[in-house]
Structure 1
Amino acid sequence: MKIYITRHGETTWNVEDRVCGRPDVPLTEKGRRQAMELAERVKGKGITRMLVSPLSRARETARLANTYIQVPVETEPRLIEHSFGRLEGVPRTSPEFWKAKRNMTTRYPGGESVLEVAHRIYSLLDEIPQKYPGETVLLVCHGAVSRVVHTYFEDIDEEAFHHYSLGNCQLKAYELPEGER
C-alpha cells in the first residue's frame, strides 16, 4: 500500500527560523502558494484520503491541497507536531535547542522525547493498512513528525536522523506493508 507524506506550507516561524512545535503558527502567503502547488502535484497519485495534524497550519495546507482531488480529510491527533516544551519559539540556532535535540531519549524541557513521538507515529502507521485497506493515504503533518515517519521505513543512524528534513509541501512516497509488520 502506498502512503504519501507532506509537511505543511511555510509558516511565519519557519521564516524567522524559530522552533515551532505545538504553537498554532499560521501559514505565510508563500505557504498558501506552496499548498496550491502541492494540490497540482497530488493529482493523479491515486490518493483516496488525507490524515491531518490538528494544528491549523497542517489543516489549511490539507484544505488547499485537496482543491482538485476532493478526498475525505480526517484530523489525526497523533500527527500533531513534536512538543518542544519551553524551547518552542526560541531560535533554531539556540545552543539549548541543539543540546536537547541530540538526546533522543530525554524529554525536551516541558515537552516530549523523540521516543514518545515515535511511539504515537509508529502506532498510527501500524494501523493504517487495517483501517484503510486498499487506500492511498496522504499524511499532512510537520517536520519532526516527518523525520520519525522516515525512520519507520528507513534504517538511519542518529546523525542522519538529525539532518533529515522534508521541505514545506514536499511530497514523499513510501510503501507500507499491508500485512503484519
Structure 2
Amino acid sequence: MSSSNQSMRGKLHLLFVRHGETQDNIDRLMQGHRDTNLTEKGVREAHVLADKLRGQHIDSVYHSPLRRIVQTIEPLLSDRPGVQVHADEDLKGQGLGELEGCSYDAIDMGNPRSADGQPGVELFDDFVRRLKRSFARIVGAEAPQVQQQDRTVVIATHGVGITSLFKALESSPSCQGFNPPLATRGPQAFEVRWTDSDDVARLLVSQPANLPVTDGLLDWSAISGQPFLIERWGKEEKAI
C-alpha cells in the first residue's frame, strides 16, 4: 500500500473502562470472579461514564460478562441500539480462588504475583496470557474493518486487567517476558494500579492496516515496532 493510501485510512481507537463501585470495593475485599453488583453509587458512576462518552461515536463493545461490568455499560448502551456488543469470558479479572471475598490485606496488593500458589488462584502469568488472547481476538476482528473512517471500540473489563495489559504492552518490569515493548505512552498516560470508574483509558493504533492479522487474530510474533500508543491512562495524582 502506498504511503498516500495509508495516510487516507482511519485509525483504530480502543477505549478501556472498568466497573463502578461494588460493596466489595467498600469493604476492601478481593472480588476476582465473584459476581457482584454495583452499589447505588456505582450505578451513578456508570451514568457519569456514559455522560463522559455521550458525544463519542462507538462501533462495538467487548465486555467481561460479570454483572458489575454489565451494569456499568448499560447506560452507555441505552441510546446506542446499533452498537455490536460481545461478551468475552477472557475479559474477566484474575481468578483468585479461595482468596475471593478475603481482605486486601491477605496479599501484597503491590506485587501482581503475590497470590500465586494460593488455593484455586489463577497464576498471574496465565491471567496476562488470557488478556493477550482476548486482545488478539478484538484487534484481529476490528482492525480489518477500519477503512477511511476511524473505528472506536470500547473494552469494558476490570481495573487489574487494564493495568496488566498495558504493562504487558509496554513490557514494564512486572510484565516483562510476554513480548518486547509494543506500546509507547503519551503525556496523558500515567501508570496506575487500577483505573477509577470514571476514567477512560485510551489506546490508539494509527495504522491498523499494518498490524499482522491472521485468521481473525492479531499475530503477536509478527508485530514490528511499537504500533500502540497509550494516549490516556489513569490520573496523574494516582500514578505509581
Structure 2: distance between partners of 1:44 and 1:163 = 26
Q: Does the 8 Å contact 2:37/2:67 carry over to 1?
A: yes
Q: 1:105 to 1:17 in 2, by over 3 A?
A: closer
**1:122 and 2:132 aligned:** yes
Determine the structure 2 residue equivalent to 1:157. Answer: 173
SS of the aligned residue for 1:73 comes to strand
Bigger Cα displacement from structure 2, 42-51 vs 76-85: 42-51
Structure 1: distance between partners of 2:23 and 2:192 = 22
Q: Pick from 65, 83, 102: which aligns with 1:90?
A: 102
Bigger Cα displacement from structure 2, 63-72 vs 102-111: 102-111
Q: Pick from 30, 34, 41: which aligns with 1:23?
A: 34
Structure 1: distance between partners of 2:192 and 2:58 = 28
Structure 1: distance between partners of 2:69 and 2:119 = 25
Determine the structure 1 residue equivalent to 2:200. Answer: 171
Shift of 1:155: 3.4
Bigger Cα displacement from structure 2, 138-147 vs 170-179: 170-179
Structure 1: distance between partners of 2:118 and 2:204 = 31
Bigger strand share: 2
Deviant stretches of 4+, over 6 Å: none
Structure 1: distance between partners of 2:60 and 2:174 = 32
Higher Rg of the two aligned structures: 2
SS of the aligned residue for 2:105 comes to coil
Name the count of aligned residue pairs: 177
Q: CA RMSD in A?
A: 2.4
TM-score, normalised with respect to structure 1: 0.86
- Cα deviation, 1:13-68, whole Å, max 9, x if unaligned, reads 00111111011111000100111111111123322111010101101111122223
- Cα deviation, 1:104-138, whole Å, max 9, x if unaligned, reads 79454212011111111112212223312223111
Q: Higher relative contact order at CA 8 Å, sep ≥6: structure 1 or structure 2?
A: 1
Structure 2: distance between partners of 1:69 and 1:40 = 13
Shift of 1:149: 2.1
Q: Percent identity?
A: 23
Q: Does the 8 Å contact 1:39/1:68 carry over to 2?
A: no
**Structure 1: stretches of 5+ with no match in the other structure:** none
Determine the structure 1 residue equivalent to 2:123. Answer: 113
TM-score, normalised with respect to structure 2: 0.67
Structure 2: distance between partners of 1:30 and 1:99 = 24
Determine the structure 1 residue equivalent to 2:88. Answer: 76
Structure 2: distance between partners of 1:173 and 1:163 = 14
